[in-house]
Amino acid sequence: MAEEVILLKLGEIALKGLNRRTFEDTLLKNIRRRLSAAGEFAVTSRQSTIYVEPKDGNADMDRAESLCAKVFGVVSYARAAVTQKDLGAIERTAAEYLEETLEEISTFKVECKRSDKKFPLKSPEISAQVGGYLLDSYPHLRVDVHNPDLVVRVEVREAGAYVHDDGKPGAGGIPVGTGGKAAVLISGGLDSPAAAWLMAKRGVELTAVHFASPPYTSELAHEKVVRLLRKVSEYAGRVKMVTVNFTRLQEEIRDKCPEDLGTVILRRFMLRAAEQVAREEGCAALITGESLGQVASQTMQAIACTDAAVSMPVFRPLIGLDKAEIVKLAHQIETYEISIEPYEDCCTIFTPKHPRTRPILHFVEAGEGAIEGEVLLREALEEKTALYVSPR
């Protein structure tokens, strides 16, 4: 069997100009860290392509491929056969390496990229020669340059020649760690894991802040959030999860604050708590899963009231998406089935029957005055717990 490598293609990073090296170095570090679960690999960057090469026969190429598919910063990837920079070797490798696929299709074309300008044949000539060899080897095939069943790709580079098929789309985005750090308020619903994923795609390193209210919320609800973060961490890398017990605060809000303002007041205290955690963790912003108009606490007026409680920027990557779009994203990142499990989270346990959809800030602040909020918040933060969530 031919020696194999995985070729990773860069997307947005290629446009970063003088900062490109920083982005590439972070991407290489992220790939190496992620691949440690699949064995020993050499990871190098040459000519806008990252080469993932197994160091020994114990390396799991299937596992490595699935891991590379979820690294932000990679726009596409392909398993490729390595061969000599010799036309005959390239032809034979193409016929043998892609045999299974070539036997099942009807049409194909060959595309070549010749980065090594010392190679005696130009790209169109290599494509024609390899195409002719494949037609001789597989008489049932015909060439279709417009809509082929398969594109056979040949790359002639400085280090060698590579043969592969169309490849697959990568995760896109930019490498985690190049966009700063932020704290995401994470619940067991559909929205916040999707918001976390979107911000990680923009290079943000995540800390997660979760609010629990035992006995109204269970340990199973907590474990559900851990499983959601584990899915996110497959793309974002290891995530620190900080859990804050909000039972006393929620009971005080329920019992003493105006009922119709209870949800907005709770959200304000959640943002305050998350901001303190964020500052301790070196984060520069907060992230929530709010979508404009989705529920009463997500109207423009309610969002303005909650944001007034903190000085840190609050990012809402889902703000313009409808529920169907969020559900589609949840399916894509494989959090949907976990999110719909029927465990309560603290955002829903004391929901008022008639929440105010257009709260006014000075009334909200007056409503907060009914409880010793700062004391309760300090007590909750003193008892917070933390764990690290990593991909399996």
Closest CA to 206 of 319, 310, 307, 287: 287
- Same domain for 64 and 160, yes or no, is yes
| Res 48 pLDDT > 90 | no
- pLDDT per residue as tens digits for the range 22-34: 999 999 999 999 9
Which long-range contacts does 301-304 make (Cβ < 8 Å, 24+ apart)? 301/357, 301/358, 301/359, 301/360, 302/263, 302/264, 302/267, 302/356, 302/357, 302/358, 302/359, 304/361
The answer on 355 and 225 residing in a single domain is yes
Task: Say which residues have a Cβ less than 8 Å from residue 174's Cβ, sequence separation at least 6.
Answer: 12, 13, 23, 72, 73, 201, 202, 203
Residue 319 within a domain: yes
Number of domains, the chain: 2
- List C-alpha distances in Å: 309 to 275, 276, 314, 334, 370: 10, 12, 11, 33, 16
Please give the average per-residue pLDDT across 149-172, as a whole number: 94
Residue 347 has pLDDT above 90, yes or no: no
Single out the residue in 136, 169, 202 at which a domain terminates: 169
Residue 229 has pLDDT above 70, yes or no: yes
Number of H helices, E strands in the chain: 14, 15
Query: Which segment, 46-50, 130-134, 164-168, is predicted with the most confidence on average?
Result: 130-134
For the chain, how far is it from start to end, CA to CA, in angstroms? Answer: 30
- Is residue 175 a part of any domain in this protein? no
- Same-domain check for residues 140 and 190: no
Residues 130 and 226 in one domain: no
Final residue belonging to a domain, choices 169, 204, 234: 169
Domain-located, residue 176: no
CATH code of 130's domain: 3.30.2130.30
| Residue range 302-306: mean pLDDT, rounded | 95
Give 12's pLDDT tier (boundaries 50, 70, 90): confident
Q: Is the pLDDT of residue 152 over 80?
A: yes
Range of the domain at 209: 181-389
Q: Tokens standing for 226?
A: 């851990």
Q: What is the pLDDT of residue 253?
A: 95
For residues 109 and 226, membership in a common domain is answered with: no
Task: Find the angle CA(76)-CA(191)-CA(328) to the nearest 5 degrees.
Answer: 50
User: Is there a domain that residue 174 lies in?
Assistant: no
Whether the CB-CB separation of 373 and 223 falls below 8 Å is answered with no
Residue 88 is predicted with a pLDDT of 96
pLDDT grade, residue 47 (50/70/90)?
Answer: confident
209-214: average pLDDT: 96
Contact 296, 357 (CB under 8 A): yes
Does the pLDDT of residue 178 top 90, yes or no?
yes
Which position has the token pair 């010392």? 118
| Same-domain status, 198 and 341 | yes
Report yes or no on 330 lying in a domain: yes
Whether pLDDT at 383 is above 90: yes
Task: Give dist(CA 14, CA 34) in Å, integer.
Answer: 22
- 74 and 213, same domain (yes or no): no
pLDDT of residue 1: 58
**Position of tokens 């520069």?**
284
**Weakest mean pLDDT among 15-29, 101-115, 205-219, 239-253:** 15-29
Determine the Cα–Cα distance for residues 327 and 170; give it in Å rounded to an integer.
21
Kindly state whether residues 222 and 199 are assigned to the same domain. yes
Element (H, E) at 54: strand 49-54
Alpha helices in 99-190, H assignment, sequence order: 99-104, 123-137
Q: Under 8 Å CB-to-CB from 138, ≥6 apart: which residues? A: 95, 102, 103
**Within a domain: residue 321?**
yes
Q: Which domain-ending residue is among 114, 139, 169?
A: 169
Q: Which residues of 107-132 are buried (b: 16+ CB within 10 A; e: fewer)?
A: ebbbbbebeeeebeeebeebbebbbe
Provide the CATH number for the domain around residue 217.
Answer: 3.40.50.620
Same domain, 385 and 327: yes
In the predicted structure, residue 224 carries a pLDDT above the cut 70: yes
Q: Name every residue whose Cβ is closer than 8 Å to that of residue 321 and which is 6 or more positions away in sequence.
A: 291, 329
What integer is the mean pLDDT of 238-244? 98
Question: Do residues 224 and 119 both lie within one domain?
Answer: no
Residue 122 has pLDDT above 90, yes or no: yes
**pLDDT at residue number 249:** 96
Residues 254 and 366 in one domain: yes
In a domain, 105, yes or no: yes
pLDDT, average across residues 153-176: 94
Looking at the structure, do residues 154 and 239 belong to the same domain, yes or no? no
Domain membership of residue 109 (yes or no) is yes
| pLDDT band of 8, cuts 50, 70, 90 | very high
246-287 pLDDT per residue, tens: 999 999 999 999 999 999 999 999 999 999 999 999 999 999
pLDDT at 344 over 80: no
pLDDT band at 309 (very low <50, low <70, confident <90, very high): very high
Least confident of 59-63, 237-241, 246-250, 354-358: 354-358
